[in-house]
Structure 1
């Protein structure tokens, strides 16, 4: 029997996983999804439109395989609470036209120009060629760097954000931590047949809560540092 390609829009908090693609003896989003599918007797090789790394989260990644379609409600009941399938489609292989990422920094950048300078510097190393747009939004306690493009090299966004942080803080950072990075949208021409938006909303709130935990940790560490200084 010739099966159609089944596509699943997935959202997850990536902090507890070693990326989305399966790795031997390590917890990954892909292994959790495969095990949940096997509970319905579906055994298939999963592929993903974006191979997010360890610690990176997503609101709109796409897993796809050739085989029977699952019962999405039952699938979500088998998945860990930090992973959800929120839409399904059958047909051809999904081909992303564009992707959007957001990096959340738990403090306000004093100069958003740091991001532009970082991109200009790293462009000399061949990075940033596929980036179509960057938006920087600053609040009282957060800076959101939104990056749009068709595709990105491994660690490209974290390298850009890390360099922007170096320019802001005046010290070496290297790659920005993966926990602040979220894949927010994968744009395709797929016609999605079934939606479970409540599951998407729940994962979104979970990611938001964990990002604010980063801010709380920063404040607490600042208090501890202040107390320690006063005791000297």
Structure 2
């Protein structure tokens, strides 16, 4: 008889890792999580609903596997300080219905039109088709772009932001740096059974602090509060 699927809602600062999925001889979020689970005698093959790349952070990714559920408090005590599990559930395989990403730019864009123009251009190249909505917040010394959709191609959001920056700055950018990108929400049919909200806030504060080093904004804190209050 097949064992239940255990889903772990995870948050992490991705700047020190080569992505979430394990890679040989490289530090990844997945390898850190696996090693912490092995300290409880749990050996399982981890999968993730979103495969964030090197340098990309997350407030709400989902790791899942078949096997026994871990003790979350002990698991967090074994994890590095920039990774945390903040909710757990057992049941079926989590199937994301939608995702939200934000990108923090450490300076002010003139308007949201360059983002809209970048989307229009890249849609003609086959990108942006799954984007359902986007929002741009422009502050005194930052620009915050949030993009919603069911799924995204590899580097799709960084290409969109990079093109918007090219239109704003008038010079070649290519891919926007990964450090400004955060997976902020994963919507899935999962009945979460145990919450460790404080851990979410701790990782959120770490991400916020590092983004401030880029002279970014406190909008990340608002996202953390929003996620914590709704707890899908």
TM range (shorter): over 0.9
User: 1:103 is matched with which residue?
Assistant: 103
State the aligned residue count.
216
Structure 2 unmatched runs, 5+: 217-232
- 1:4-49 deviations in Å (ceiling 9; x for gaps): 1000000000000000000000000000000000000000000000
Query: Quick one: distance in 2 between partners of 1:71 and 1:212?
Result: 33
**Residue 185 of structure 2 is aligned to residue 185 of structure 1:** yes
CA distance in 2: counterparts of 1:163 and 1:23, whole angstroms: 29
Describe the SS at the equivalent of 2:96: coil
| Conserved 8 A contact 2:107-2:143 | yes
Distance between the aligned counterparts of 1:170 and 1:179, measured in 2? 22
What is the rounded CA distance, in whole Å, between the counterparts of 2:166 and 2:128 in structure 1? Answer: 18
Report the Cα offset of residue 55 of structure 1. 0.1
Displacement of 1:2 in angstroms is 3.5
**For 1:90 and 1:18, how far apart are their aligned partners in 2?**
28
Match of 2:121 in 1: 121
Q: Distance in 2 between matches of 1:38 and 1:159?
A: 37
Q: Match of 2:176?
A: 176
Q: State the SS of the aligned residue for 2:84.
A: strand
TM-score (norm: length of structure 1): 0.92
Alignment of 1:65-80 (within 5 A): 65-80=65-80
Partner of 2:6: 6
Consecutive unaligned residues of structure 1, counting only runs of 5 or more, are: 217-232
For residues 174 and 128 of structure 1, the distance between their equivalents in structure 2, rounded to whole angstroms, comes to 16
Distance 1:174 1:160 in 2: 9
> What is the Cα deviation at residue 3 of structure 1?
1.7
Post-superposition offset of 1:141: 1.2
Question: What is the CA-CA distance between 1:215 and the residue it aligns to?
Answer: 1.6
Residue 32 of structure 2 aligns to a residue whose secondary structure is helix
- Structure 2 residue aligned with 1:36: 36
The SS at the match of 2:214 is helix
Structure 2 counterpart of 1:206:
206
| Structure 2: distance between partners of 1:9 and 1:163 | 32
SS at match of 2:137: strand
Q: Aligned equivalents of 1:113 and 1:122: distance in 2?
A: 14
Instruction: State yes or no: 1:130 paired with 2:157.
Output: no
How high is the TM-score relative to the length of structure 2?
0.92
Q: What residue in structure 1 maps to residue 52 of structure 2?
A: 52
RMSD of the TM alignment (CA)?
A: 0.8
